C-alpha cells in the first residue's frame, strides 16, 4: 500500500540552488544520524535467554523505526524546486511504506548496511548466545557471581581477567555450561585456539546438544585453518539445527574464500542469505558481500551463466 504525504508548507528556498553533491552529503548526514538512533535502540536490547531469531527480530524493529524517516527525508532532499516561483508550495511525495515493497526494502537495506558497518553493538547483540537450557546455569551462587564478574571483564575486552573468573566459576561448579562456553570465547579472543576447543568440548560433555559450543568449535577450526574439520563440525551442527544460517554461511565462506570452490561456496551462501532474510538478520549483508566477491571471480572466469544458474536454483534473482 502506498501512502502519500502532503507537505503543505514546504519552503522552497531550503532546496533552491543546492548542488547534487550537497544533496548527497545531506542524505549521508541524515543516514548517519538516524543510524545512530537505531544503534542506541539496538544497544538497549536485552539478549538474556533469547534465541538468535528473537534478537534478530528486535534488531529489525530498531532498523524499521528509522527507515521511514530516512525514506521520507531522502525524498525531500531530492526535490528539485528550482523552477518553483512561489516560496511556499504544496507538493505530493509518494512514500511506499509496505515492508515487502522494493522501495521500502531499498531504504531498509541501506540503513541495515550502514548499521552493520558502524554500530558495534549490533553484531555483539546478534552474536549473543545466552539462550538457556536446563544445564546452562549453575545453582551455586558463588559460581554465578564469579561468572558475572567474568562477563563484566569480557565487556571491557579484558579477556585474561575474564578467564580467571570463568576458571574459578567452573571450579565451583564443573557442570556450569555457560561458564565453559564463555571460557572458550575468551581463549579464542586471545588466539589460544586449543584451549578454546578444550573448553567448548567440556561444555558439550555437559550438554551434548549445546548449539553454541559446537558452532564455536567450527569457528575456531576456521581460525586454525583446519577447514575440513570446520566443515565437518558445521555439518554436525546442521543435524541439530538445520535452520541455522550460520551453518551455511560458515561452509560457504570456507569454500569460497579458503578452498577456492566458488560454486559450492555460492550455493551455501545463497541458502544462508535466504534464511537471514526470513529471520530479518543483519548478517544478510555479510552473505551479500561474499556473494558479490564470488560474482566478480566467476565473471572473470567466464562462469557468469553458472553463477546465475546457482542463484536461480536457490530462487534468488540477480538485480
Q: Would 319 be classed as within a structural domain?
A: no
How many distinct structural domains can be found in the chain? 2
Burial grade of 100 (CB within 10 A; 0-12, 13-18, 19 or more): exposed
Same domain assignment for residues 232 and 281: yes
Evaluate whether residue 134 is within a structural domain.
Answer: no
Inside any domain, residue 160 = yes
Domain boundary (102, 126, 150) is at 126
Encode 50-114 in three state secondary structure.
CCHHHHHHHHHHHHHHHHHHHHHHHHHHCCCCCCCCCCEEEEEEEEECCCCCHHHHHHHHHHHHH
Query: Is 215 in the same domain as 116?
Result: no
Q: Is residue 100 part of a domain?
A: yes
pTM above 0.85, yes or no: no
Q: Quote the domain boundaries for residue 65.
A: 2-126
Whether 53 and 245 have beta carbons less than 8 Å apart is answered as no
In a domain, 302, yes or no: yes
Would you tell me how many other CB atoms lie within 10 Å of the CB of residue 223?
12
Residue 248 covered by a domain = yes
Output the tens digit of pLDDT for each of the chain's 319 residues. 444 333 333 333 344 456 778 878 888 888 999 989 998 998 888 876 677 778 888 888 999 899 988 888 888 777 655 554 544 555 566 777 788 888 888 888 888 888 888 887 776 666 655 555 556 778 889 999 999 999 899 888 999 999 999 999 999 999 999 899 999 999 999 999 999 999 999 999 998 888 889 999 999 999 999 999 999 999 999 998 888 999 999 999 999 999 999 999 999 999 999 999 988 888 889 999 999 999 999 999 999 999 999 999 999 886 5
- Tell me if 294 is assigned to some domain: yes
Residues 95 and 168 in one domain: no
Reading the block at residue 157, the C-alpha cell is 575486552
Domain of 248, CATH number, reads 1.25.40.10
Domain-terminating residue out of 126, 152, 170:
126
- Same structural domain, 201 and 115: no
Identify whether the C-beta of residue 38 lies closer than 8 Å to the C-beta of residue 122.
Answer: no
Provide the pairing of β-strand 88-96 with 2-11: antiparallel
Same domain? 198 vs 226: yes
Measure the CA–CA gap between 75 and 62, rounded to whole angstroms. 21
Same domain, 151 and 119: no
Indicate if 122 and 239 belong to the same structural domain: no
- Please, what is the Cα angle at 105 between 99 and 111, to 5 degrees? 115
Does residue 85 sit in the same domain as residue 179?
no
Amino acid at each position: 500500500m502506498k501512502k502519500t504525504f502532503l507537505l503543505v508548507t514546504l519552503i522552497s528556498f531550503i532546496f533552491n540552488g543546492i548542488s547534487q553533491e550537497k544533496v548527497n552529503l545531506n542524505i549521508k548526514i541524515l543516514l548517519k544520524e538516524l543510524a545512530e538512533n537505531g544503534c542506541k535502540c539496538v544497544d538497549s536490547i536485552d539478549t538474556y535467554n533469547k534465541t538468535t531469531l528473537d534478537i534478530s527480530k528486535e534488531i529489525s524493529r530498531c532498523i524499521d523505526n528509522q527507515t521511514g524517516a530516512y525514506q521520507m527525508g531522502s525524498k525531500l532532499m531530492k526535490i528539485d524546486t528550482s523552477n518553483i516561483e512561489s516560496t511556499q508550495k504544496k507538493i505530493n511525495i509518494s512514500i511506499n511504506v509496505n515492508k515487502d515493497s522494493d522501495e521500502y526494502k531499498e531504504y531498509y537495506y541501506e540503513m541495515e548496511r550502514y548499521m552493520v558497518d558502524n554500530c558495534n553493538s549490533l553484531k555483539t547483540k546478534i552474536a549473543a548466545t545466552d539462550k538457556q537450557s536446563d544445564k546452562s546455569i549453575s545453582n551455586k551462587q558463588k559460581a554465578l557471581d564469579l561468572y558475572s564478574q567474568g562477563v563484566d571483564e569480557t565487556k571491557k575486552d579484558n579477556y585474561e581477567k575474564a578467564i580467571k573468573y570463568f576458571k574459578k566459576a567452573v571450579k565451583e561448579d564443573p557442570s556450569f555450561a555457560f561458564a565453559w562456553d564463555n571460557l572458550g570465547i575468551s581463549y579464542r579472543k586471545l588466539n589460544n585456539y586449543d584451549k578454546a576447543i578444550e573448553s567448548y568440548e567440556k561444555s558439550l560433555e555437559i550438554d551434548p546438544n549445546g548449539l553454541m559450543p559446537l558452532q564455536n568449535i567450527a569457528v575456531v577450526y576456521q581460525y586454525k585453518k583446519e577447514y575440513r574439520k570446520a566443515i565437518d563440525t558445521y555439518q554436525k551442527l546442521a543435524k541439530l539445527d538445520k535452520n541455522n544460517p550460520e551453518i551455511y554461511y560458515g561452509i560457504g565462506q570456507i569454500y569460497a574464500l579458503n578452498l577456492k570452490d566458488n560454486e559450492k561456496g555460492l550455493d551455501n551462501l545463497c541458502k544462508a542469505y535466504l534464511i537471514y532474510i526470513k529471520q530479518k538478520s543483519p548478517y544478510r549483508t555479510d552473505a551479500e558481500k561474499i556473494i558479490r566477491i564470488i560474482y566478480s571471480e566467476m565473471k572473470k572466469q567466464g562462469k557468469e551463466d553458472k553463477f546465475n544458474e546457482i542463484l536461480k536454483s536457490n530462487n534468488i534473482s540477480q538485480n
